[in-house]
Chain A
């Protein structure tokens, strides 16, 4: 069948089961948007205020639904505006396909209006980039791009179409192939030959070795990383933890991979890790890390990390092995598959003394009996009033760490946070994507006054699409996390971190047609949050906090994991 090239782009999206796309139009991508107009009943396009917001929204959509996110942008500034979003998705292994357009073939390389080498720029922050110069290759490229984004360790992919390729007069051969059968397509076959289309099947012998190491261990511990979340291996992971009867720490990306309220959960590990997690890591004799990459925020000092332990690394990505921390044993494969093979080999273990020792270090949920509004009061109110399966999208800073410490995430995709790239401004976009992908769930955006300023223009997207997202702004009048470092390490020299300036977030919310609440006491928090939950529209809570609250505990970067700077 001959169809327009742009039609093939849309059909290929439909093949993949895409129904929601995010983006922003412009000159070079006009043909694609014109085609989108024909498909407006099948492909719901969400117009954001800024391409960065669209990128984060597609990312949040992907993280919360487990599907591949899709994002459009025009050439030049449209594509460069995407880059922070692409890098954020890349660092956190989130599958998003970015579709951009570039100038026409004769203008390529001539510094034409809004021309930029986006495939070159995006190379280090994607799994793959494609420059489409020949319309006939569109179906092949689209199918391969989706396969690459979703297969193995997921991640972003960028396709840049030259404008002439999308000209309405260009007709190409196209045949519908549902994605479940797209192995028949040549680009998928070649990908299968070079890289395999599945994660490698774990080696049974390697798994047996681990089972043996577990049998010898007296003080085992587990780390739940982002791989458990992306691989949706939470059930298998929980089974392993319970069979092992061992303490379980999570990384920032692992939030949702293991229930925060589980009796074996010791909370976060690393820079803002709990005492229980960090001490367990220091004292265990076997550390099994599943889908975590031992980043510098976890393995603060790689040489002394888990120095008494045999370290076992389970990861889908061979190149992560021995990258940051040298390991004693590794298993390559998807978290789910590895644990499915491992669990049946294990008897029920019991480590009562070790467990009691570590669990006794847990401080329990932070409580606060005072009258002042503190981060504890805010988080406690949210936790009490919001439904249990509420999706939380955070920005970056103190409020992010507090959220991960305080909320009990229990399923993959419940916590959306920029762990690897630490992107301020991620939260609102991600919340928009999550709300669109999960219309029946409550989505809360936890942010700081600094981060909120970065992308609060997306409130207009919240309003336009009638998304009942509640933005809870931890307004401490400062770039809190940076100030915390300045207080602790830079002798209270508050260089460029005080946010003694507008806007008034309540008025801002109202200006966007949303509800705004000023919150200065725990009582106001309670009533405002209750109100927001039933408002049926986007709401902004401007919560005023003391400027000097800190995230506790804290181990400085590069220090030994139990050398707490503050407890």
Chain B
């Protein structure tokens, strides 16, 4: 039986472990641009293992194409592991700094109140501005940004999405689904 692939376009999250060498980020990112797909977000940072970087990429695509890119990604020499993280079994978080206009007292109070509801923090106060730091999943940051927009957002600095599996599973596990980690190894 031919495998069926979900043709619907949605956001997929890929966690990729790579050796920390020059050019590795562009090498990985290139695989996506080559297919004409935009990366929604990309985050890169160090891990518990020295010399190993974790890149988290969120992409709008369909199942077949995302699987393809993951398979191609595994072939890159600096790539140690690639995992497609499932929304249901992985936690996702992002962090945003939002500078918003709040010149009068009313606006200030409202912004502070709203931030409290979102468990966001005011991290800087200017003469006419407040800077809010919010941490949460994609929907939460998007919702707060949507609300603050009414006051006049001056600037946003935002990370991409970070993601990690719930429970005991880690990206280092080797007992992956056969379909995903064919015979447990990357290939050359």
Contacts and interface: CB of A to CB of B under 8 A. Distances in A.
A195 B183 contact: no
Nearest to A201: B183
A120 interface: yes
Contacts of B80: 194
Interface string A153-197: 100000000000000000000000000000000000001001111
B19 to A, nearest CB: 8
A131 B5 CA distance: 39
Contacts of B77: 127-128, 144, 148, 191, 194-195
A328 B187 contact: no
A263 interface: no
Contacts of A327: 2
Query: Interface residues of B toward A: which range?
Result: 20 to 34
B102 to A, nearest CB: 44
B64 interface: yes
A152 B23 contact: no
A498 to B, nearest CB: 36
B1 to A, nearest CB: 6
Interface in B157-188: 182-183, 185-188
A127 B188 contact: yes
Which residue, of A119, A196, A203, has the highest number of chain B Cβ atoms within 10 A?
Answer: A196
B116 interface: no
A166 to B, nearest CB: 20
Interface stretch (A231-239, A274-282, A314-322): A314-322
Interface string B76-107: 11011000000000000000000000000000
Nearest to B67: A322
A197 B185 CA distance: 10
Interface in B20-46: 22-23, 26-27, 30, 34
A91 interface: no
B71 interface: yes
A422 interface: no
Given A119-B23, A191-B77, A318-B74, A196 B185 contact: yes
B183 A322 contact: no
B115 interface: no
Contact of A332 (B1, B67, B68, B182): B182
Given A120-B23, A152-B187, A194-B77, A318 B182 contact: yes
A319 B23 contact: no
A199 B2 CA distance: 25
A200 B68 CA distance: 18
Contacts of A151: 188
A136 interface: no
Nearest to A316: B187
A318 B188 contact: no
B72 interface: yes
A499 interface: no
A481 to B, nearest CB: 27
B22 A326 contact: no
Contacts of B19: 194
Contact of A194 (B1, B27, B186): B186
Contact of A153 (B182, B183, B188): B188
A124 interface: yes
Interface string A193-236: 01111011101000000000000000000000000000000000
B3 A195 contact: no
A41 B109 CA distance: 84
Nearest to A149: B188
A193 to B, nearest CB: 8
B40 to A, nearest CB: 22
B75 interface: yes
A323 B67 CA distance: 9
Contact of B1 (A119, A127, A200, A328): A328
Which residue, of B30, B67, B187, has the highest number of chain A Cβ atoms within 10 A?
Answer: B187
B3 A326 contact: yes
A127 B74 CA distance: 12
Given A120-B23, A148-B77, A322-B3, A332 B188 contact: no
A317 B187 contact: yes
B187 A196 contact: yes
Contacts of A326: 2-3, 5
Which residue, of A128, A131, A191, A311, has the highest number of chain B Cβ atoms within 10 A?
Answer: A128
Nearest to A200: B183
A194 B186 CA distance: 7
Given A119-B23, A127-B77, A322-B64, A200 B187 contact: yes
B51 to A, nearest CB: 10
Contact of A123 (B30, B74, B79): B30
Contacts of A123: 23, 26-27, 30
Contacts of B68: 319, 322-323
Contacts of B182: 200, 318, 332
Contacts of B27: 123
Interface string A316-351: 111101110011100010000000000000000000
A362 B30 CA distance: 45
Contacts of A200: 182-183, 185, 187
Contact of B187 (A120, A124, A131, A195): A195
Contacts of A129: 23
A144 B1 CA distance: 40
A318 B79 contact: no
Nearest to B79: A194
A282 to B, nearest CB: 17
A199 B72 CA distance: 16
Contacts of A311: 2
Contacts of A321: 71
A319 B186 CA distance: 10
Given A131-B22, A195-B185, 4 more contacts: A123-B30, A153-B187, A319-B72, A332-B187
- Pairs of residues from A and B, 10 with the lowest C-beta to C-beta distance, nearest first: A152-B188, A319-B71, A200-B183, A195-B186, A128-B77, A196-B185, A319-B72, A151-B188, A326-B2, A318-B182
27 contacts: A120-B26, A124-B30, A127-B75, A127-B77, A129-B23, A148-B188, A191-B77, A191-B188, A194-B80, A195-B75, A195-B185, A196-B186, A199-B187, A200-B182, A316-B187, A317-B187, A318-B182, A319-B71, A319-B75, A321-B71, A322-B64, A322-B67, A322-B68, A326-B3, A327-B2, A332-B183, A332-B187
Interface of A: 119-120, 123-124, 127-129, 131, 144, 148, 151-153, 191, 194-197, 199-201, 203, 311, 316-319, 321-323, 326-328, 332
